[in-house]
Structures are given as C-alpha cells and as structure tokens.
Structure 1
Amino acid sequence: MVATPIGNLGDITARALAVLSQADVIAAEDTRVTGQLLKQFGINTPMISVREHNEHSMADKIIARLAAGDTVAQVSDAGTPAVSDPGAVLAAAVHAAGFQVIPIPGASALTSALSASGFTCAHSLFYGFLPPKSKQRRDELAKVAELPYLTVFYEAPHRIADCVADMAAVFGPEREAVLARELTKTFETIRRAPLGQLAEWIANDSNQQRGEAVIVVNAAAPAEKAESSSYDALLTPLIAELPLKQAVALAQAISGAPRNALYERALELKKAE
C-alpha cells in the first residue's frame, strides 16, 4: 500500500520510488493519473486498474498473482490508499488469503491538515466525506457536534461553500475551524477562523471554492453539568401523564438538555413515586 504525493511531487519517498520500481505490477486507481507520476520518475512498471467499482472483482486476480510470487503495489490517485480512497477492500482480501499487506507511508491530507491546524486537543475523529445533500449532511454533523475531539472532514470543491455553511449552522458560527485547501499545491490555502467567518469568506471568494479541501473543526467546549434536580419541574408533570420514553423525548425537545441525563433523572423520579 504505497502513499503517493497529494500535490507536490517532492513529497514522494525514496522507499515508495523503490517499491514502485521493483514491483511486478502496480494496481492504480486511475492508470492515467499514476502514469504521469511514473513518467516523472522514469518508472516503467506495468499497471492494472483497481478502482472503487472493480475492487472486488480484481481482488481475486491480484491474489492469484501474489500466489504466483508477484509483488503488487497498490496506489490511489493521490495520498494513502484506503483513506477515503480505494484500497481497503483489496487489503482485506489479501489478509484473508494469508498474504502480507505492507504499508509504505507518505503524504496524507489528513495528517497534513491536523499538523497545520494549531489545535491542541490530543484526540481527533476522522469523518471523511459528508453526504452531498444538506439535510443528510446536517444530520451527520449533529451526531459529532458535541464530541470532545477535533473532527476532520474532506470535501469536494463544488460543495465546500454549502458544507461550511452547514457546519456553521450546526456547530455554531463561533466554533473555530481550519480550512486547508489544495494542500502542497501551488495555491495552497490554510486559514483558521470561526466557522461563521470561514463560511462568509468562502462564499465571497470563488477561488476558495476550487480544489480539494480538508476542514478541521475544533472540539466542543466542555458542557457545564447541570444538577439533575434542575430537570424536575419539567419532568414531573410529563412522566405523570406520558410513558417514560415519550416524556424524556418531549423534555429533551423543550429543554435541549442531554437525553441521558434526562432519562436517568426521570427514572429516579419514577421510582420515588
């Protein structure tokens, strides 16, 4: 599994070049894209196309080559295979067949964006690509909005403006984030600002709507823990008239308080009746 540059060809490693040169065949996501990389470094190893839509069917052929003693180098168009790119299906099949899977580390948009973000949170969650439609995208963002981790997203250029606007709506316009666009390329842009400002900046500058983007959103601030008894005035009349789950759901909708805390307190009040 060979990582290739995400933009700047100088980021190819000596080990990657050696593996690509010595392999019997290169399994490439797009042979035209990889062909340009190989040409740049004078590598003539033959290629086969292994992409998202044929990864399952090609796995058997690659395993047959491994069984015959061949070395196969897997690459995606840019970056590290299987990280929001094809490669995981093939790696799983090779593991299952009893052959060795060897990572050749290198360029990664994920780690590049994290390293340049300046956020000090020790923990991060890599989400990858969000759904393309706003409703589903906001639903997914809501699932991670209160997590105490940095959250890292990939986004395509034609969706970046809408995506960051949705992030500002769900996470809040004051949550800090970093837009890392066109990493390692000529027009690389890395900007850290509150999401509301980032959304406005992207919407007003069409240049920021070009190229692949990584968005790193800061961790949610720790919530102040409310005393469980503070929910009593709301919960008591509800659990007197409604089933417990329905009472808790309604209390959450009214107050916005954490469901688990409401449920635990509702159970205590129910037992005390």
Structure 2
Amino acid sequence: MSQDTSPFTRRLATNARTVEGLLERLLGQTTEADEIARPANLLAAMRHGVLNGGKRLRPFLVIECADLLGGNRDAALRVGAALECVHCYSLVHDDLPAMDDDDMRRGQPTVHRAFDEATAILAGDSLLTFAFDIIAAPETALSDAQKVELILALGRAAGHGGMAGGQALDLAAEKSPPDEAGIVTLQAMKTGALIRFACEAGAIVAGAAKEDRARLRAFGEKIGLAFQLADDLLDLTADAETMGKATGKDAARGKGTLVALNGQTWAEDRLEQLVAEAEALLAPYGVRSAILVEAARFIANRRS
C-alpha cells in the first residue's frame, strides 16, 4: 500500500515532529524556577505518556488556526504543546483499570502497565498541571490578557463541564445507556471540547476579532463531532494493530454510540455533512483556509 505523501500529510507530520521536539525539551530533567526537583520515575512516566508518537492533531489545529489569522507561530506551538499535555493526561487516566482498563496505547504498554497505577495517576496529574504552567510561562509570547483567556477556555474545556465530565458520563453509560441526545452531549464533552478549544485557541493567540473566534470555535465543534463519529466507526471496523489500542470495546460494554443507533451508512453520510458544514464556516477565508479544509476531511476519513 502506497504511503500518503500529500501536502497536508507532510505538513501534519512536520508539525508533529516540531511539537514532539518541544515536548521533549519541556519534559527534560532540568528544573525550572520555583521547582524543587523532578523525580526521575515520575518524569519517565510523564514522558512515556507523551513522547510516544501520535498525530498531534490538536496542536496542529492550534498552530494552523493561529496561522490562518496571523498569530505568533511560536506562541501557538507552546499553546499546542500545553493542549497535548492535557490530552495525554486524559489518555493516561482513561486507560486506568478504574476507567477503561486498557493495556495498550499507540502500540505500546499504557503508563500504568509500564510503571504502576499510582505513578500513572501522578503522571496524569502532573501533565494536567504542567499544561497551565506552559501557557502562563514568560516564554509564551502572549499578553497577560491572552493567557488568561486561554487558561479559562482550557479549564472549561478540560474540566467537569467538558472532557472530565464527558468521561464521567461515559462511565455512567456502561450502566445506563443514554439516548441519542445523551450520546451527543457525552461526545461533545469527552472528545469535542478539546478539539473545539484547539481551534478557538488559535484565534485567541492571533488576537482575532470576536467573529473570527466564534467562526473557528464553530469549526472546531463540527470537526470534533466528526472526530468522534469517525472514531466510533473505527471501533466497529478497524483492528487493534491498525489502531494501536483495543477495538470493539464500546460494543462489548454495551455502550451506545451514534453508529450503533443509526448504522454505518448513516454515519458515513453524517460525516460528509459535517465536513461540508466545516468547509462552509471557512469559506470567508478563501484559499488561506485550504489546510484546515484538508484537516476536516482527514478527520472524517482517517483510518487510525
């Protein structure tokens, strides 16, 4: 099978390497001002949970949305790295036996398997906290007002009213499957909130007008829905080797998904509709938004 070498794929890969390089440096052994020490085992667990490949899609969206509106690329990169720390913390905790109980993530042992459960919990806690450190740090070349906006938006997207709350709903769904509206709410929180933040964060980094910020936020909401819908399809159709993690677990646990409720054909049609709606939101930016249009299509059509 030929490797995809489209301009979008190359740009996604390039950004991923850049983000990975920054995360490698940020999670180094050298302590920052006011840090007392970085315990070696904890740092190793944090690095295991973060420096393990991945598409780095969320940082990519921060960077490209900021670039669309003329934002500082270095600042966007740091905000993207912070967001990736939040995303990776959520994966470390989601994989725990008390949550989704997964042994593999991105083709390697999950953090609690490679280390132990207590260390995995602390690694997740540390990554979440470190995300806000990265945004607030003087090295992030943004105004104090922009940093406050980013911290507030990320806190709302990641906390009990967003991603963490979505995980709580997901756990509850194992005992009492939600209806279609409940599934949409769950997915908008657990998966969609951080993707929405990624796009809105790009606008905040760029100091964009309210209309642009609202437009990119709405774009993020559309592609967040598409991401989860594509994920549900992959859980149904892909194999564990391709995904780098267990598949078919939602069905095994009796969790309801939009795919299970409405069928594969409906899901594929809905994905096309979401991509069209996302593209329409970007239409005012013309050719400058081409890379984000490709990102929407990639999210809907991904195979892993």
TM bracket (short chain) = under 0.3
Report the TM-score when normalising by structure 2. Answer: 0.22
Larger relative CO (CA 8 A, sep 6+): 1 or 2? 2
Between structures 1 and 2, the one with greater strand share: 1
- Structure number, greater radius of gyration: 1
